[in-house]
Chains A and B, each alone.
Chain A
Amino acid sequence: MIEPPKNREPRAWSGEIPLTSFYTAGAGGQIFLHALKTQGKLIGTRCSPCEQVYLPARSFCERCFAELVEQVEVKRTGKLVSYTFCQVDHNGARLRRPVGLALVQLEGATTLLLHRLLGVSEPAEVKIGSRVETVIKPKTKRIGSVLDIEGFRIL
């Protein structure tokens, strides 16, 4: 029997995986972001048979796979369906100030939109079911990103 070497330290190998994603908005996302950037409007697409209005707009119905061509403007106001406060960022580092995230059903849409919850810093200030309003950045600051929406403000 061979004895293991003495004074051996346990070893670990460290490394990094280089990875960059590049995501195009797609045909539906293009409609949504274009309207948001140029007009500050929230555009969805309707599937009449399924009684759905998808927001952001998408190019096909995920229930019946039909192509969606009917565009619908959705209101900026809606209802807070759920929320959370993030204590860490996406790399796991602790945030100095927790970030509120809101899941909102806007009037006219059947789907939910996830974005920042503005103006509050703790759960005691938030009530599920509250009416909220979408805050959109001024036109000069809009670049055609979902971040052209600042977030949701409780009314």
Chain B
Amino acid sequence: MKAMPDVVRGTPVNTKEVARGKVFTTSYTPKLRYRWDEGEAIGRYLEEFREGRLIARSCGQCARVMIPPRMFCERCFRPTDQWVYVKDTGKILTFSLCYVSWDVKRLKQPEIPAVIEIDGASPGMGILHVVKKIAPGKVRVGMAVRAVWKPKSKRIGSVTDIAYWEPIRK
């Protein structure tokens, strides 16, 4: 109870009391199903993953190359114009060392989620993915990385067709 702040008034409940049925409780598991439509831009984007390619959309007015692609330029308030292939290399724009998994299990070796600024896209345009093959303490913003693709037979048209990103060693 050390972490409990002094100012909180209330009635703490402990698990023993709950187990003994001393505390009245109710539990509910809602059925939360979703179905997410890729849409035009993301549909094409993900389809290109099967071929091991990254594709972006460009806007002729602000000259930005946007990835993930979108059919509408949120800066110019007009439709985007062209499909443009970009590279499967980039730079770490920001990253984190994550010691818990997505379902909140403790990890000894941290995962390294990072936003990768894609070569060929406009500055700041990046995708959230995961970096591997580097000691956690050595990761730096600005580091050059390349996509490591799954074998073609294993690709399904998903961002996970890139297994991870690894540093480009010169």
- Residue numbers of A with Cβ under 8 A of B are 1-2, 4-5, 8, 10-27, 29-30, 33-34, 59, 90-91, 144-145
Task: Determine if B166 is an interface residue (Cβ-Cβ < 8 Å).
Answer: no
Q: B95 in the interface, Cβ–Cβ < 8 Å?
A: no
User: In the assembled complex, which residues on chain A have CB atoms less than 8 Å from the CB atom of B32?
Assistant: 16-19
A145 close to B29 (CB less than 8 A): no
Question: Which B residues form the contact surface with A (CB < 8 A)?
Answer: 10-11, 13, 18, 21, 23-38, 43-44, 46-47, 55, 82-85, 157
Can you give 11 A-B contacts (C-beta < 8 A)?
A4-B44, A8-B47, A11-B38, A11-B43, A14-B34, A16-B33, A17-B32, A19-B29, A24-B24, A27-B10, A30-B23
Task: Give Cα A59 to B18, complex, Å.
Answer: 20
**Interchain CA distance A48-B23 in the complex, whole Å:** 28
Contact B37–A12 (Cβ < 8 Å): yes
A8 to B27 Cα, complex, angstroms: 44
Select A2's contact among B10, B29, B34, B85, beta carbons within 8 Å: B85
- Which of A2, A12, A20, A29 is within 8 Å of B28, CB to CB? A20
- In the complex with contacts A5-B47, A10-B38, A25-B24 CB distance below 8 A: yes
Give the CA-CA distance A29 to B25 in the complex, in Å.
10
Docked Cα-Cα span, A11 to B156, in Å, equals 12
CA distance A30 to B21 in the complex (A): 12
B55 neighbours in A (Cβ, 8 Å): 2
Compute how far the CA of A4 lies from the CA of B41 in the bound complex, rounded to whole angstroms. Answer: 10
Q: Which of B26, B31, B33, B44 contacts A23 (CB under 8 A)?
A: B26
A20 near B34 (CB under 8 angstroms)? no
Measured between beta carbons, the chain B residues less than 8 angstroms from A34 are 24
Chain B residues with Cβ below 8 Å from A27 are 10-11
Question: Which of A10, A19, A33, A91 makes the CB contact (< 8 A) with B24?
Answer: A33
CA distance A23 to B23 in the complex (A): 10
- The reply to whether A12 and B83 contact each other, CB–CB distance below 8 Å, is no
